[in-house]
């Protein structure tokens, strides 16, 4: 007789768009993605404005009964029926909100960027370690079967020795008209800007192949060179380009992001692949936005003098997603809780910290500082 699936009881902290997408994915039957060992239940949600808003959120997500609606994050964090809390507030509030949950003894899945700076990330990790709690940065893309497939192929040496990774996530926005000065994408009080919101995906594609899959002894932080153009109305970054050099091999990772041009201007992929993983035998090109990749192609290197490597053929492969795709990271959380793990091998604590340190260095090089309140490691602070 098959054993019952391990069921995780979720609390949802915040009620914005990303929280709704994640929660709706939790409601999809895991069997549609061939997962029979785990299950998810949303038992509560909280809005910082009112319990009525939280109740409306639950209704919009198709949860019509049984879940509690709270008008404060503290109430959510202290609910004894919750196993893990998904923190879906802006980056500026991640440290305060995630710490609130950890201090209350709750496991946490926290949206990316993990925190505003590396100092905050290190404190969250230390609290989780001391309290024997699970903590993970919600870099959902890493848990796509497609991403796992590509990491395995590169580890196997399918495209030879990796020498360079390009990754871009850029959106064609009318920044003044769409965002003005108060929208979270450009509001400095909410840690706005292209890098922490979009560029984090470009960086994670670089890190997957130039850091994450490397032998532990070769996982060294990269040196960083960068350039940034700021949005004149608020001072956040609207264009950021980063070159990372990873020791000991000297391999380059180029991560770019931009609020005014698109990685895919006609939404048909005709601009080329926004992600290119280049090895000595050829390359892998990944299509679809960096956060939700759907298709990749393998392209063997070829030249009249050297011929074509025998290791693989030119091919294009598309993977379907039975939903938005955020459920895979939730499944990972469930399995980690079931198995008593404090961190995920797919997005370990040390890697989240190194990535935050890279973004800290980019901001340092370009003189981008957020307000003291959201850079602070003090806890608790009013207004969060």
**Per-residue confidence (pLDDT) for residue 305, from 0 to 100:** 82
Q: Which residue has the higher pLDDT, 88 or 269?
A: 88
Domains and CATH numbers, the chain: 6-140+327-348+369-375 (3.40.50.720), 145-318 (3.30.360.10)
> Residues 242-251, buried b or exposed e (16+ Cβ, 10 A)?
bbbebeeeeb
Sorting pLDDT into bands at 50, 70 and 90, what band is 6?
A: very high
When pLDDT is cut at 50, 70 and 90, the band that residue 2 belongs to is low
- Count CA atoms closer than 13 A to 259's CA, side-chain side: 24
- Distance in angstroms (rounded) separating the CA atoms of residues 212 and 288: 22
Return all residues near 149 (Cβ < 8 A) that are at least 6 apart: 319
pLDDT-derived band at 156, boundaries 50, 70, 90: very high
Peptide bond into 248 cis (omega under 30): yes
- DSSP codes of every residue in 164-204: EEEEEEE----IIIIITTTSTTT-GGGT-SHIIIIIHHHHH
* 89-114 average pLDDT score: 98
pLDDT of 311 reads 67
Give yes or no for a contact between 72 and 84, defined as CB atoms under 8 angstroms apart. no
Taking all residues of the chain, what is their mean pLDDT, rounded to a whole number?
Answer: 95
Angstrom distance (rounded) from CA 154 to CA 156: 5
- Going by C-alpha positions, the residue among 135, 132, 133 that lies closest to residue 110 is 135
Per-residue model confidence as pLDDT tens digits over 226-278: 999 999 999 999 999 999 999 999 999 999 999 999 999 988 888 889 999 99
Closest C-alpha among 98, 95, 82 to residue 43: 82
DSSP classification of residue 1: -
Gap between the Cα atoms of 168 and 202, Å rounded: 5
Q: What average pLDDT does the segment 348-359 reach?
A: 98
Mean pLDDT for 42-48 is: 97
Q: For residue range 129-140, what is the model confidence (pLDDT) as tens digits?
A: 999 999 999 999
- Closest Cα partner for 273 from 310, 213, 316? 316
Query: How much is the pTM?
Result: 0.96
Q: Give the closest residue to 375 by CA, choosing from 360, 355, 358.
A: 360
Q: What is the mean pLDDT of residues 44-55?
A: 97
Question: What's the rounded Cα separation, in Å, for the pair 232 and 230?
Answer: 6
Q: How many percent of the chain have pLDDT more than 90?
A: 90
Residues composing the chain? 384
Question: How far apart, in whole angstroms, are the C-alpha atoms of residue 341 and residue 333?
Answer: 9
Q: Which residues of 301-313 are buried (b: 16+ CB within 10 A; e: fewer)?
A: beeeeeeebebbe
pLDDT tens sequence across 8-40: 999 999 999 999 999 999 999 999 999 999 999
User: What residues does 307 pair with on adjacent strands?
Assistant: 303
Each residue of 193-214: pLDDT tens digit?
Answer: 999 999 999 999 999 999 999 9
Q: What is the pairing mode between strands 275-279 and 162-170?
A: antiparallel
SS3 assignment, position 7: strand
Note whether 89 and 97 are within 8 A (CB).
Answer: yes
CB neighbour list of residue 242: distance below 8 Å, 6 or more residues apart: 199, 202, 203, 224, 225, 226, 253, 254, 255, 256, 358, 362
Evaluate whether 67 touches 43 at the Cβ level (below 8 Å).
Answer: yes
Residue 63 has pLDDT above 80, yes or no: yes
pLDDT digits (tens, 9 = 90+) for 105-121: 999 999 999 999 999 99
Write down the pLDDT at residue 384: 86
Q: pLDDT value at position 1?
A: 46
What share of the chain has pLDDT > 70, as a percent? 99
* pLDDT for res 310: 66
């Amino acid at each position: 007789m098959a054993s019952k699936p391990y069921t995780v009881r979720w609390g949802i902290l915040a009620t914005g768009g990303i929280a709704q997408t994640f929660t709706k994915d939790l409601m999809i039957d895991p069997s549609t993605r061939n997962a029979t060992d785990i299950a998810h239940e949303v038992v509560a949600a909280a809005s910082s404005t009112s319990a009525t808003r939280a109740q409306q959120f639950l209704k919009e997500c198709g949860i019509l009964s049984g879940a509690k609606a709270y008008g404060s994050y503290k109430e959510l964090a202290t609910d004894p029926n919750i196993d893990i809390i998904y923190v879906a507030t802006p980056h500026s509030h991640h440290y305060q909100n995630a710490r609130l949950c950890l201090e209350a003894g709750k496991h946490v899945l926290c949206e990316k960027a993990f925190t505003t700076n590396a100092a905050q990330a290190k404190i969250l990790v230390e609290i989780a370690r001391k309290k024997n709690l699970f903590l993970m940065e919600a870099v959902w893309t890493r848990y796509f079967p497609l991403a796992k497939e590509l990491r395995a192929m590169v580890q196997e040496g399918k495209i030879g020795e990796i020498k360079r990774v390009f990754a871009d996530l850029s959106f064609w926005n009318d920044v003044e008209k769409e965002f003005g000065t108060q929208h979270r994408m450009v509001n400095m009080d909410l840690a706005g800007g292209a890098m922490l919101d979009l560029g984090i995906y470009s960086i994670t594609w670089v890190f997957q192949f130039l850091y994450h899959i490397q032998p532990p002894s070769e996982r060294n932080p990269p040196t960083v060179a960068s350039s940034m153009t700021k949005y004149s109305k608020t001072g956040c970054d609207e264009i950021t380009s980063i070159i990372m050099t990873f020791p000991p091999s000297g391999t380059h990772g180029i991560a770019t992001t931009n609020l005014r041009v698109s990685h895919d201007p006609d939404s048909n992929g005709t601009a080329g692949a926004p992600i290119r993983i280049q090895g000595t035998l050829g390359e892998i090109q990944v299509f679809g936005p960096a956060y939700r990749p759907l298709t990749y192609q393998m392209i063997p290197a070829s030249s009249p003098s050297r011929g074509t490597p025998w290791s693989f053929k030119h091919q294009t492969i598309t993977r379907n997603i039975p939903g938005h795709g955020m459920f895979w990271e939730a499944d990972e959380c469930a399995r980690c809780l079931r198995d008593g793990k404090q961190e995920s091998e797919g997005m370990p604590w040390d890697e989240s910290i190194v990535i935050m340190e890279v973004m800290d260095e980019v901001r340092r090089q370009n003189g981008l500082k957020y307000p003291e309140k959201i850079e602070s490691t003090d806890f608790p602070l009013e207004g969060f």
